Structure 1
């Protein structure tokens, strides 16, 4: 995703802004999700994360710390009240559903569900 937005994660400054997510190419977003879904029998991907996000009481466009924290616990990004670092991500098939894809860069766009809002817009345009 950073490559599509022409960002360099090596400098430690890369992150997604809301307007970048809103303009992220639908074709790329859908393809990234499909690749995760196909590679891991629908255990990972943005669509799985979106389901978990909504199942934990989150509403796209709103941020409530308690429900967002519950989402973080549900997908394994928060342990004992602390958000894990990128180095602590579980890249095995044993990770919780929705655990991947993830990075601190990406998680910030999920607080108010901006990425999921973009997914909704992309699915309406198909």
Structure 2
């Protein structure tokens, strides 16, 4: 039952994000997958971040689940590894299923790029916007895997939502008040068409796993840059952009760190988990200090994304 492939950000077990998979990790992903199949709702929306608990039962409209089955699902998705079932045999026993098939155990290895396929044939995403923004172009670019263009379009629509197109940059207060509907739409589009590899929620999860909080922390920020591939050999991707002509300034040096150019961004699914979006078109003064990611992670939690 265990293996080296880990689920996408929506399905990944907490310990797997830290590269510490155990036998029960796959069972957690199995449980979350069952919840998605039962509800048709993204696992991100089945978890209440404010209460830090699963709320999947409230989404059971036409698929009632017995108490016994519900208890089995709850045990599969426990956060504590010791509280979960420890093997597939235990799950089968709980389901009162007997089988003569031998279930092989394989050695778990540290994952490199933990991704599994999230079908693009999954239910269509409702392109909701509190500001009347048309997200069809962003969806089309992502569907065709035109990652660079989609990155630029993401910056454009976010500036439009925040009414900051002329300024070409977002303030911390803009992120704090960014409409949840729009943030969820943008994030779900990136998640769907990257098979769970890219998106704000993926980045925020990594940031929190590294100990990130609302306050900027240089150590956490550097570790985050290393993890998502924005910092290579202590050099950061240079984020200053001109939205109108797409030219990039290359003369910035911050805190004795050298910078690499936007052209060095990997616009490919081979990129590290959480590598995109980086959003060409946003002035990056706040990004250099990690304020954007910390503010965004906080806003995502507020929006239960």
Q: Answer whether TM exceeds 0.5 for this pair.
A: yes
Compute the RMSD of aligned alpha carbons.
2.2
Superposed, 1:47-86 pairs within 5 Å as 47-59=201-213, 61-85=214-238, 86=262
The residue number in structure 2 matching 1:38 is 192
Q: CA deviation at 1:89?
A: 1.5
Q: How does 1:10-49 map to 2 (within 5 A)?
A: 14-49=168-203
More helix by share: 1
Match of 1:88 among 256, 259, 264: 264
How far residue 90 of structure 1 moved from its aligned partner, in angstroms, is: 1.2
State the structure with bigger RCO (CA 8 A, min sep 6), 1 or 2: 1
- Is the aligned partner of 1:123 residue 2:304? yes
Deviating above 4 A after TM superposition, structure 1's stretches of 4 or more consecutive aligned residues are none
- Pick the aligned partner of 2:290 from 86, 107, 111: 111
Aligned length: 120
Cα displacement (A) at 1:123: 1.3
Separation in 2 of the partners of 1:87 and 1:14?
20
SS in 2 for 1:123: coil
Question: For the pair shown, which has the larger CA radius of gyration, 1 or 2?
Answer: 2
CA offsets 1:16-56 (integer angstroms, 9 cap, x no match)? 10111111111000000000000011111111101111222
Structure 1 alignment gaps of length 5 or more: none
Q: 1:111, 1:122 → 2: CA distance?
A: 20
Q: Normalising to structure 1: TM-score of the pair?
A: 0.84
TM-score (normalizing by structure 2)? 0.37
Aligned position for 1:101: 277
**Gaps in structure 2 of 5+ consecutive residues:** 1-157, 239-261
In the alignment, the residues of structure 2 paired with residue 5 and residue 62 of structure 1 have an alpha-carbon distance, to the nearest angstrom, of 22
